[in-house]
Chains A and B, each alone.
Chain A
Amino acid sequence: VQLVQSGAEVKKPGESLKISCKGSGYSFTSNWIGWVRQMPGKGLEWMGIIYPGDSDTRYSPSFQGQVSFSADKSTSTAYVQWSSLKASDTAMYYCARLDSSGWYYWGQGTLVTVSS
């Protein structure tokens, strides 16, 4: 099982962005994928989850309306999208897969830097 995330991004405030998390080694549609934010020098924050099988999505209240999750079954890839980035979106973003034991498999992280 592997979750491979897209590379680091440098964007300006107001720009849009979509980062990805590609699953392999398992049936991508059978497990929830979660997203976690880690701002520089700070702790982990739960953003929400998506079920790739039917794109059922649940957002943490803190992230509702701020980001959008999606999944492409044909490419086994989950996405997080921002329509208008802010400097405060600067962070490392992780995806993780929910197993019976918990969130065991994690992606390597995608660093997003938003700066004018």
Chain B
Amino acid sequence: QPVLTQPPSVSGAPGQRVTISCTGSSSNIGAGYNVLWYQQLPGTAPKLVIYGNSNRPSGVPARFSGSKSGTSASLGITGLQAEDEADYYCQSYDSSLSGWVFGGGTKLTVL
């Protein structure tokens, strides 16, 4: 079982906003470790879309945003586009495991 919990799937129509949650514990997100988010398109390597809880790497559209509160984090995508259809993963560091951990992934479907 993944250490971080994500919903298996979310969906939204083009132009709408969706959020993907990531729930951790006091040994990872709740301990103050940063949360990262990745987008994985079919057949490709993961791509970093959010780092440091809420920062976007250069080239990632402003439609993508991240937030963190307590033991949870969220990825928000506004103005949904067909190209956003992908799997999304959250990641953080876990002090109990002394290593990085991923969420189970969320499949975003653009209706």
Q: Which residue numbers of A lie inside 8 Å of B, CB to CB? A: 34, 36, 43-46, 48-49, 58-61, 94, 96, 101-104, 106-109
Contact = CB atoms under 8 A, between A and B. Distances in A.
A44 B44 CA distance: 12
Majority secondary structure, B binding face: strand
A104 B48 CA distance: 6
Nearest to A106: B45
B45 A102 contact: no
B99 A46 contact: yes
Interface of B: 2, 34, 36, 38, 40, 45-48, 51-52, 55, 57, 87, 89, 91, 97-105
B100 A34 contact: yes
A111 to B, nearest CB: 11
A38 to B, nearest CB: 9
A108 B45 CA distance: 6
Contacts of A94: 45-46
Contacts of B45: 94, 106-109
Nearest to A34: B100
Contact of B99 (A48, A108, A109): A48
A102 B34 contact: yes
A86 B39 CA distance: 29
Contacts of B38: 44
B52 A103 contact: no
A101 B38 CA distance: 13
Nearest to B8: A43
State the 6 A-B residue pairs at the shortest beta-carbon distance, nearest first. A43-B105, A102-B51, A106-B45, A101-B51, A102-B36, A44-B102
Given A43-B2, A43-B89, A44-B89, A103 B48 contact: yes
Contacts of B55: 101
Contacts of B91: 44, 46, 102-103
Contacts of B51: 101-102, 104
